[in-house]
Amino acid sequence: MTPAATARLLIVGPQGSGKGTQGVRIGERLGVPVVSTGDVFRANIAGGTELGARVQQIVDRGDLVPDELTSEVVRDRLAQPDAAHGFLLDGYPRNLGQVAHLDDFLAGRGESLDAVIELHVPRAESIARLRLRAEEQGRTDDTTEVIARRLDIYENETAPILDVYGSRGIVDRIDGVGTLDEITERIFAALAARAITPA
């Protein structure tokens, strides 16, 4: 698929908001790679790498992978040829420090983000979705305590990045409750208003 002329995007939302699913749909339709830090880390865990072992210990505690490790992984991924014309970031940046890291990296390439998609989902809805996923997939990292801790981290550390991007006028807040197709169409309607459309 031919990529859109420019589509450097970030999707943000609490765990259970459906951003992973919507991210895949956006990437496919726009022809840009989805760069999910979670996928990269899980691949390392599954592959039994040294990084994977370190990450496993961190997620088992319900904590997030340190900024230095995450930024290094993202910079390497965005430097690959398939991300030259655009990308969709999922899971990074997750705090103000990482916003600064990303700004510096993109500025060095003469680039900036085109839009930030915020999937808004009430906390109770996120918890219900994550509990269901844990039951269906047998995910040991999705205990009630860990879910609550992750949502707290999102609200305290990640939500503030939306103020930064909001001040730049690039945030589109999307209602994340509804069918998958309804939410996807809301996202693409917002992107179309910014002249970001499939090629």
Which residues participate in catalysis according to the annotation?
19, 94, 133, 139, 150
| CA-wise closest residue to 62 among 140, 134, 141, 124 | 141
Phi, psi of 192 (to 5 degrees): -60, -35
* Structure-token match 């999922």, residue found: 90
Q: Nearest-5° angle of CA 152, CA 157, CA 162?
A: 115
CB of 87 closer than 8 Å to CB of 9:
yes
Q: CA–CA distance from 120 to each of 173, 189, 196 (Å)?
A: 7, 16, 21
Spell out the residues 6+ positions from residue 124 whose beta carbon is closer than 8 angstroms to its own.
none
| CA-wise closest residue to 75 among 52, 53, 108 | 108
